[in-house]
Structure 1
């Protein structure tokens, strides 16, 4: 080979050697460049119980502080002239300069400047919005109004309402195809996902959901698949991202299947699914016939998750763990857990969110929002906890959340206090609930609970149990506190 030919061949090879080899992380396209982790990046978590947004530096693995959007209970039970309630969903602008945060209880979307952590605008929409996502071109924000039957479309710059798109009742979330052509909208009350043309705002496809309750959806960066979770039946559905939008697979993932997201790394493209009731993340291939390749213990009740800009990490919010777990996507192991606000739900990872400066303006210390008691319940002979419980400090009172599993599907139960560790004796009701088709449920209660379960109050120590309900009366406990 002539020297000139060798030189030309080397020029061809150099881009392959020095450009990102495994480009494109969700929600971007596969040809988008990878962005290495740095202290300019931010991990944001929506803390539903403390009504805060936790802000984490992924490079130092530290909580930098919280953005306070509202007050804890009982302060938020008065008329809400100001402040937000039940901070829940998250999205961001394509330039990574704006974070949007949905609050279910105050029907709002707060838009936050990522460089200064300053709330620059709040838009109020319909009943119980769930998620808000910018279109890939940044021109619109689609807010799924789960308490009604439409998507509220906001202008991407002014954040003012510009149109509504009618969809099946209870839209849970929208994700867009990497090329921006389609918006995929799952439902939380109707067993149907719809596909919307983003230019015409018309429905162009319909997909039967295996159950009515889907809270979360993700699109693969290669533009081939859409994954969505079915929380009530513990399954995950995989759909062709292009016409005819046919279902490719229905995976049995586990009780309280929460969120799904996609990672591309040196080993390929994978779907990561949080299984709240099992306190683990499951990892699947994104082939036409997905296969389980890893199961990762994470901590209590994993919920939202998002990959880093280079796909080397995926971050998982721990709803009952009040923290975020960082998973190495090569080894599929948790490498760190960072303490955050109470009951994180949605979360996002924003590469280069802070272009300069420390990015700590307008942040508050976590304070008493970091105080909590963690408990587990299990049935006799169970090898692992079947129910995780967190009792969060709200100041004057406490907020309890239990991720319940291991019960008979579609049956009434009671979370109750017992005077005895084995559950014997009389029971005092804390909360009544009905299990879903997977024998699981998220149970919440408020009251002076922490001192009771710790034995630090004026009365005797109390123990949490779960008992079936018959004729409105509790039976013998089937799960007791460990």
Structure 2
């Protein structure tokens, strides 16, 4: 091992590139799996919750190939006869890279998609509000976390039927597996506990105390030594030993609206990339000593993240920008922006997803699925373009879904998002949504209505301005953030 590292340290950059395939193992695969150079056969997928689409991108030229439409936008999806999916959100893929599995929170569904043809093979309906689903490393089961209840739904990927349930604490958020397939790690979004489950017999063999009850994402290092999980409400990322007794190794302060984590295994080592929505950054840490090595500005509300098959790039979905970006892991710079659907959530990079042809069959153009207006808000008294809150108005026809990624407020405090007839927020107010900040002083706030027509900079009549005030609609306080014109 020392000899190998010494040889790597003296090789030129071009030689390192030639040896990159020997430095195996990108997540979720193990360290012994050969790296796969980026090619036109690969695809990057994103689950987009307000357009109810899955975007499909070719990573060679970072070009959107098209979208898979799993459902309609509002108000079509409000019909009692509606049969499509709602809130397309979670994503995983099979070990043979032939099947993409997509979770839709609002319609309680797990959809199986053929990666070669982009066609839906089956849809399975599970319990209330599933969040994420992933295949076991042997491909024999799919574990879907049913976050609105207290179990993991175990599906048979051959029949697409539920075969069993694994009882866990309320609110399971996501499952990821050890690369050797021995353990499944299930973090929770409602209970401050991660369960470690034996894949062979579905028995809980360990429990890890989370520092908070809201974990949206979990990932295991390719060498099988560590598990990293994010805590969205307190802005932290925890690391624990992937083997018994599953001891906590580190807790990192990563920032408000800490979303997802994933790994790039490179000639320089293995690095954890963490998306931080409240700061609009991706933070990079070494996995050997947990030291921070980079902070990468990326754009509004980074969410899902996944490495290319060779670890040369990290792909990130920008939830409030309707974009997929690519980060070069050698320079740690953003090298590409790809327009995609509304509010991307989970991201997955699947090598060799399209063994033949152009992979465009079954895809629709982006069209209106990418329509949105993007705004920003800043604290009262601040000038310039520095923003604390990003706002997107996702077009749904005559109305929009407003989503504000709020940051920079007092923790655990009540606030009101409202419309004001004055730019400084001190005019008459029309309430949109009450919300409570989390312990990191941030929140994700949603509202629905014909909002764009009156708050966009080109609005001509009844112009209104977004404002955040302390208190609630029943007890309105002083404005604390206003819209940047």
- Please give the residue correspondences for 1:405-420 in structure 2 after superposition, counting only pairs within 5 Å: 405-420=407-422
CA distance in 1 between counterparts of 2:397 and 2:433 reads 21
SS of structure 1 residue aligned to 2:479? coil
Aligned to 1:333: 333
CA distance in 2 between counterparts of 1:148 and 1:423 reads 41
Aligned to 1:441: 443
CA shift, 1:80, in A, is: 5.2
SS of structure 1 residue aligned to 2:278? helix
- Please give the residue correspondences for 1:347-362 in structure 2 after superposition, counting only pairs within 5 Å: 347-362=347-362
SS of structure 2 residue aligned to 1:475? strand
CA shift, 1:419, in A, is: 1.2
Assess, with a 3 A threshold, how the Cα gap between structure 1 residues 337 and 80 changes in structure 2: closer, same or farther. Answer: farther
Conservation of the 8 A alpha-carbon contact between 1:273 and 1:282: yes
Q: Please give the per-residue CA displacement for 1:380-409, whole angstroms capped at 9, x wherever unaligned.
A: 237721000011111121111000000111
Structure 2: where are the runs of 5+ without partners? 1-14
Q: Please give the per-residue CA displacement for 1:217-264, whole angstroms capped at 9, x wherever unaligned.
A: 000001100000000000000000000100000100000000000110
Conservation of the 8 A alpha-carbon contact between 2:76 and 2:82: no
Q: Which moved more, 1:350-359 or 1:426-435?
A: 426-435
SS of structure 1 residue aligned to 2:435? strand
Conservation of the 8 A alpha-carbon contact between 1:368 and 1:395: no
Q: Please give the per-residue CA displacement for 1:351-377, whole angstroms capped at 9, x wherever unaligned.
A: 010000111111111111222111110
CA distance in 1 between counterparts of 2:98 and 2:466 reads 45
TM-score norm. by structure 2 comes to 0.94
CA shift, 1:89, in A, is: 0.1
CA distance in 1 between counterparts of 2:18 and 2:43 reads 28
Aligned to 1:125: 126
Q: Please give the per-residue CA displacement for 1:129-181, whole angstroms capped at 9, x wherever unaligned.
A: 00000000000000000000000000122111110000111000000000000
Assess, with a 3 A threshold, how the Cα gap between structure 1 residues 471 and 124 changes in structure 2: closer, same or farther. Answer: closer
CA distance in 2 between counterparts of 1:400 and 1:228 reads 28
Structure 1: where are the runs of 5+ without partners? 1-13
Q: Please give the per-residue CA displacement for 1:399-444, whole angstroms capped at 9, x wherever unaligned.
A: 1100000011111111111111111211111111111111100001
How many residue pairs were aligned?
467
CA distance in 1 between counterparts of 2:131 and 2:262 reads 17
CA distance in 2 between counterparts of 1:128 and 1:45 reads 19
Assess, with a 3 A threshold, how the Cα gap between structure 1 residues 337 and 221 changes in structure 2: closer, same or farther. Answer: same
Q: Which moved more, 1:159-168 or 1:74-83?
A: 74-83
CA shift, 1:56, in A, is: 0.6
Q: Please give the per-residue CA displacement for 1:192-211, whole angstroms capped at 9, x wherever unaligned.
A: 00100000110000100000
CA distance in 2 between counterparts of 1:462 and 1:58 reads 41
- Please give the residue correspondences for 1:400-479 in structure 2 after superposition, counting only pairs within 5 Å: 400-454=402-456, 459-469=461-471, 472-479=474-481
The answer to whether structure 1 residue 283 and structure 2 residue 284 are counterparts is yes
Q: Please give the per-residue CA displacement for 1:52-103, whole angstroms capped at 9, x wherever unaligned.
A: 0011111121111111111101111122541000000000000101000000
Q: Which moved more, 1:366-375 or 1:117-126?
A: 366-375
Q: Please give the per-residue CA displacement for 1:334-360, whole angstroms capped at 9, x wherever unaligned.
A: 011111000000110000100001111
- Please give the residue correspondences for 1:54-93 in structure 2 after superposition, counting only pairs within 5 Å: 54-79=55-80, 81-93=82-94
SS of structure 1 residue aligned to 2:368? helix
SS of structure 2 residue aligned to 1:76? helix
The answer to whether structure 1 residue 201 and structure 2 residue 168 are counterparts is no
Q: Please give the per-residue CA displacement for 1:440-474, whole angstroms capped at 9, x wherever unaligned.
A: 00001110011111255573221111001158222
CA distance in 1 between counterparts of 2:81 and 2:252 reads 42
TM-score norm. by structure 1 comes to 0.95
Conservation of the 8 A alpha-carbon contact between 1:465 and 1:481: yes
Assess, with a 3 A threshold, how the Cα gap between structure 1 residues 381 and 155 changes in structure 2: closer, same or farther. Answer: same
The answer to whether structure 1 residue 481 and structure 2 residue 483 are counterparts is yes
Aligned to 2:248: 247
CA distance in 2 between counterparts of 1:210 and 1:343 reads 28
Aligned to 2:4: none
Aligned to 2:219: 218
Aligned to 2:310: 310
Aligned to 1:53: 54
CA distance in 2 between counterparts of 1:221 and 1:179 reads 9
CA RMSD of aligned residues (A): 1.5
Conservation of the 8 A alpha-carbon contact between 1:155 and 1:162: yes
Conservation of the 8 A alpha-carbon contact between 2:20 and 2:35: no
Aligned to 2:21: 20
Conservation of the 8 A alpha-carbon contact between 2:434 and 2:472: no
Aligned to 2:168: 167
